[in-house]
Structure 1
Amino acid sequence: MTNDVSQLHTSDKYTGKDQVVVGNGASLPISHIGTASPLPSLPLKDILVVPGLTKNLISISKLTADFPFSITFTNDYFVILNQVTREVVATGRRDNGLYVLKRGHTSLISALSKK
């Protein structure tokens, strides 16, 4: 999920009635749905644009359902591993309770959510 439709490679206006419920219980509307690649090895589909979000979030359950990935979390960092090629797809660190995806030496705004 992202709050910025310009981060998507392709997008369509969202016509469903679903909303995203965030940690404080508030319901946020979805404006668009599309595709993006936060990393070249990580093409994501069905990304929801939720204008009220403050962080970009990646669903771990969707990530592991869509790709042959295993994800290891420690207290300080995480590693995404392709189970077929055994290559590291991505890494990141924990920052203020969220696991932040890294791209080279630049942090993306994205964070990994355990939900």
Structure 2
Amino acid sequence: MTGDKRKLTNLTEYKGARVVVTTDNSRLPITHIGNATILPRCNSHQVELQHVYHVPGMKKNLLSVSQLTAFGNFVLFGPDEVRVYQNKKIAGTPIMQGKQMETVYVMSAQEAYVDKAGKNETADLWHARLGHVSYHKLKIMMMKSILKGLPQLDVRAMAGNVSKEFIEANDRERDEDIREEKGSKWVRFLGKY
């Protein structure tokens, strides 16, 4: 979108009800739709854009990522820059991935988190996250898939160097706590097993 009508070709009057809301909550009307050609500073490849809004009062030109990708371009964001490529093959394994839905790209953070971050997680970390639940209960939650997102952990490494007697005592103590706290989050969370 642009505030400069001279940047657009093939203009048609916009008859819809959409407006552009700015950072100060001003509402600017869209008056026309047209095409624009961008000539980047770094090379001579022109980038053609369609359905560009003319919004009188806009002080900056805004470019939509989905408009760029609609014509086969690839947009790569880095820590300090953004680049647009044509006919580019990206090598490497992505750490997150999503799909375009209309003009927005959607990623499932849960899947990305579990798939990637979960590979570095340990039973001790999940033990602490769940309020120091016993390792036995953690093993049951993992085996019965009670907790969505709980990765398959190395059961042998769950208790570290703790003795079998300590684990069994800890389990008995936790079971007593659960019986005393009927209706608590642990009873609802763990259910019957």
Provide TM-score, normalisation by structure 2: 0.40
Q: Partners of 2:67 and 2:8 in 1: how far apart?
A: 18
Pair 1:47 & 2:62 matched = no
Q: Partners of 1:72 and 1:63 in 2: how far apart?
A: 11
Q: Partners of 1:42 and 1:10 in 2: how far apart?
A: 16
Q: Partners of 2:65 and 2:25 in 1: how far apart?
A: 21
Segments of structure 2 that go 5 or more residues without pairing to the other structure are 40-44, 90-193
Aligned residue runs from structure 1 range 80-91, under 5 A: 80-82=84-86, 84=87, 86=88
Aligned residue runs from structure 1 range 34-113, under 5 A: 34-39=34-39, 40-64=45-69, 66-82=70-86, 84=87, 86=88
**Alignment match, 1:25:** 25
How far did 1:24 drift? 2.2
Structure showing greater relative contact order (alpha-carbon pairs closer than 8 Å, 6 or more residues apart): 1
RMSD value, Cα: 1.8
Q: Partners of 1:80 and 1:27 in 2: how far apart?
A: 30
Q: Could you say which structure has the larger radius of gyration?
A: 2
**Alignment match, 2:7:** 7
Segments of structure 1 that go 5 or more residues without pairing to the other structure are 88-115
State the secondary structure of the residue aligned to 1:36.
strand
Q: Partners of 2:4 and 2:21 in 1: how far apart?
A: 18
Identity %: 36
The structure where strand makes up a greater share of residues is 1
State the secondary structure of the residue aligned to 2:20.
strand
Q: Which runs of 4+ in 1 moved over 4 A?
A: none
Per-residue deviation, residues 76-114 of structure 1 (Å, max 9, x unmatched): 2221112x3x39xxxxxxxxxxxxxxxxxxxxxxxxxxx
State the secondary structure of the residue aligned to 1:28.
strand
How far did 1:23 drift? 2.0
Q: How many residues align?
A: 84
**Alignment match, 2:123:** none
Provide TM-score, normalisation by structure 1: 0.64
